[in-house]
Structures are given as C-alpha cells and as structure tokens.
Amino acid sequence: MFPRPLTPLTAQKGPEPLGRPSRRSPPGGGRGRGGFGGPPLLLPSMLMFGVIVASSGLLLMIERGILAEMKPPPLHPHGRMDPVWRKGVAGGPGMALDPGDSDHQVRQDVRNRTLRAICGQPSMPRDPWDLPAGQRRTLFRHILVSDQYRFLYCYVPKVACSNWKRVLKVLAGALDSVDVRLKMDHRSDLVFLADLRPEEIRYRLQHYFKFLFVRDPMERLLSAYRNKFGEIREYQQRYGAEIVRRYRLGAGPSPAGDDVTFPEFLRYLVDEEPERMNEHWMPVYQLCQPCAVHYDFVGFYERLEVDANHVLEWVRAPPTVRFPSRQAWYRPASPESLHYHLCNTPRALLQELLPKYILDFSLFAYPLPNVTREACRQ
C-alpha cells in the first residue's frame, strides 16, 4: 500500500554538474509526469501519502480526546536512567505537561504512528545497510557523533544545524562557549559516522541516543533560497547563474545569478533527482533516512528551544551548556513570507514539486500548503 522511495535507488556518485542538459521537455512537449501546461499525473502511492497528510487535521481532532487520558510517552531512551531535568523544561519525568503543549503532543503522536505505518511496510529499508551505497554514504556524512555523551545527531541544513554543531564543539572542548562569534567551520572538530569503520558504526547506531530536527519542508526551501541566492556569492555563481540560463527566456550567456526568483528555484528542484540535490534542499528523508535509522527523538524547528533543551537533558549535557539563542539580526522565513511566495508561484509548478517532498510532509506531520484562490486572497 505504501510506496518505495520516490526515485530510483541508484548509487550517488557525487554532485551532478549543473552544466548537464536539462531533463525538462520543451514547452508543450509530452512529459511522463505531466507538463507544466496540464495537471501532473500522480502515482497512486503519491495520492496515498496525500491522503495521509490531508487527513492529519481530522486525526488531530479525533486523537486530542484520546490523548487527554494518556500520559506523555517516555522522554528518555529505553534502558537508560532518567536524567535530572532542567528547571522550567516542560514534560520531564514527574512534571506536569504544559497545557499549551497539547497540540504538540498530538502532532508527535500522529507523526510517530505515521512513521511506524510507513516504515513498517516491506518495501522500506530497515537498516542503513539495506540502502544503496550512495544513499548510505549521504546518510553517514550527515550523522554527527559524540562518543563522550553517546549520541548521534543527523544534521539537516536550514534547521538550526550550525547551532547544533556549536553545541557539539563545546561538548567536545573545541569551543569555550556556544556564543563565540566565529565563522562556523562545518568540518573541523566534528566526528561524522562516515569517519568510522563499519563495526564502529553498527555499535553506535545500536547503543547511542539518536535524534534529528525537522522543519516545514516548504519553509525550509524558502530559507535556503533566501540565504543561498540572496547572500552567498558562491551559490549565486554555481547554481544561480545556471538556473537563470536554464529557465529564464532571454537570459544572456553569463548571468550573475543573484536575481533568481523563487519559482525559478522551484522549477530547478522539479528537474533534480532528490538523492543528487545539494544538501540545503535535499529532502530530509534522503538526508537522514528515518526508516533505516530508528531515531529516539525528532525535534521541531517550530519549538526549537524547548526541544533542544529536552535533548540536552537526555544526553546529560552539563547545565552550563545551553542551546544558542538566535542572533537579534536573524529573521527566519516566516509562515507569512512563505504564504506570499507560494501564492505567487504557479500552482502547476507546486503540484510537480510536492511529490519530491511528500515523505517529509507525511512522516513529520506537516500539512500541505494551502494555495487555493480563497487562501491566497487573505
């Protein structure tokens, strides 16, 4: 009933050069998935995932009454002693759950049930070694290791991963404080699962606490778009210039790449294979493989500070180590700005794009974007 991964499971051979010929058909040409001029042809499996996500609102209403009689799920991995909880962290053992967390608890329950249902299907991977070599390599390159505190963290770009890397460096003694104002080096003083031997990897996957953080898929894409094409020259030259050449009528041979529009960026993603995407817009499913790796905790970007404090308690981090606060100047992509950009994107384009991220929507209980005419008039 549930699908195999959305794209062929082929080994990843590194980033695909942007100069390759476009896989898009010329305007008006017949495209197997449905062209921009007509409705996309979604496979039944995609429709199934659409039903799961579309029904999440009903599940929330139904299960709210059920969960009112349930205690919160255990907040610590099986077989480990309860930590000493930080003062003020809601949901710890022996502490009353904040009434404002009821919606979050419902979403957690829906997400956990969806994960079990989807990942329990025979076609889904049960273990990282079930994955093709390229997908396994991507996974292991995105899992950070703390042997001292016995945890694994799968980092997802544009979901506060730089701040988590700061935390790991402080825990390892490589940084004095999470507030040190240094340009983040995303490799030095960090240990990745890919750096270890297979038997060492297996041991850590079996015995360490494992977590990741997720974010609304479209909000994450908007954040990546604003950051990479609005601020970083390297991305403008490497990706932006090619996107403009490929998708903008009348573009010259040497565009600067600093004025890529959001629809142009999404059109580029439609033509990219998920397992070959840049990590900043690769689906979380491809980066962290939540069916092959059995994560003990999945945190939400929308409640980053609270969930991050939970994790720091679980791993018994020193009380002096805290998750960094956002800088005063930082303005994350908001639901309002996302609504504006999506309402100014052709709906046919969104219909082609969403299947590539449907597992992220479904597994992590995020609703599909509402871009009806009525919603966009508001």
Fill in the DSSP letter of residue 235.
H
8 or 46, which is more confident: 46
Question: Looking at residue 61, what is its pLDDT?
Answer: 35
Dihedral, CA of residue 211, residue 119, residue 267 and residue 346, to nearest 10: -110
Whole-number pLDDT of residue 328: 56
pLDDT computed for residue 244 by the predictor: 96
3-state SS record for 308-363: HHHHHHHCCCCCCCCCCCCCCCCCCCCHHHHHHHHHCCCHHHHHHHHHHHHHHHHH
pLDDT at 100: 53
Query: What is the spatial distance between Cα 261 and Cα 227, in angstroms, rounded to a whole number?
Result: 13
Higher pLDDT, 289 or 182: 289
Report pLDDT digits (tens) over 201-224. 999 999 999 999 999 999 999 999
- What is the rounded average pLDDT for all residues in the chain? 78
Q: What percent of the chain has a predicted confidence (pLDDT) above 70?
A: 71
21-48 mean pLDDT: 39
Query: Sign (positive/negative) of CA torsion 29, 34, 36, 38?
Result: positive
Residue 104 banded pLDDT, cuts 50, 70, 90: confident
The alpha-carbon radius of gyration of the chain (Å, integer) is: 21
3-state secondary structure 84-145: CCCCCCCCCCCCCCCHHHHHHHHHHHHHHHHHHHHHCCCCCCCCHHHCCHHHHHHHHHCEEE
**Out of 42-51, 101-110, 206-215, 291-300, which region has the weakest mean confidence (pLDDT)?**
42-51
Encode pLDDT of 324-370 as tens digits. 887 655 677 888 999 999 999 999 999 999 999 999 999 998 999 99
Cβ contacts of 246-252, under 8 Å, gap ≥ 24: 246/22
User: Which residues pair with residue 143 across a beta bridge?
Assistant: 154
The count of other CB atoms within 10 Å of the CB of residue 330 is: 7
> Confidence band (pLDDT; 50, 70, 90) for 15?
very low
**Which pLDDT score is estimated for 218?**
97
Cα torsion angle, 226, 229, 235, 238, sign: positive
Indicate the domain borders of the chain.
103-364
| pLDDT(199) > 60 | yes
- DSSP 8-state code for residue 146: E
Query: Which of 375, 339, 351 shows the shortest CA–CA distance to 50?
Result: 351
Question: Which pair of structure tokens corresponds to residue 148?
Answer: 């001292």
Question: Quick check: 11 and 132 in contact, CB under 8 A?
Answer: yes
* Alpha-carbon span 211 to 178, nearest angstrom: 20
Q: What are 20-32's pLDDT values in tens digits?
A: 344 443 333 443 3
What pLDDT was estimated at residue 110?
82
Band (pLDDT 50/70/90 cuts) for residue 36 is: very low
Q: What is the DSSP string of 151-219?
A: EEEE--TTSSHHHHHHHHHHHTTS-S-TT------SSTT-EEGGGS-HHHHHHHHHHSEEEEEE--HHH
Nearest to 165 by CA among 140, 142, 143, 190: 190
Mean pLDDT in residue range 77-101:
37
pLDDT digits (tens, 9 = 90+) for 275-334: 999 999 999 999 999 999 999 999 999 999 999 999 999 999 999 998 988 765 567 788
* The predicted structure's pLDDT at residue 152: 98
DSSP 371: -
CA triplet 61, 219, 6: central angle to 5 degrees? 80
* pLDDT band, very low/low/confident/very high, at 46 (cuts 50, 70, 90): very low
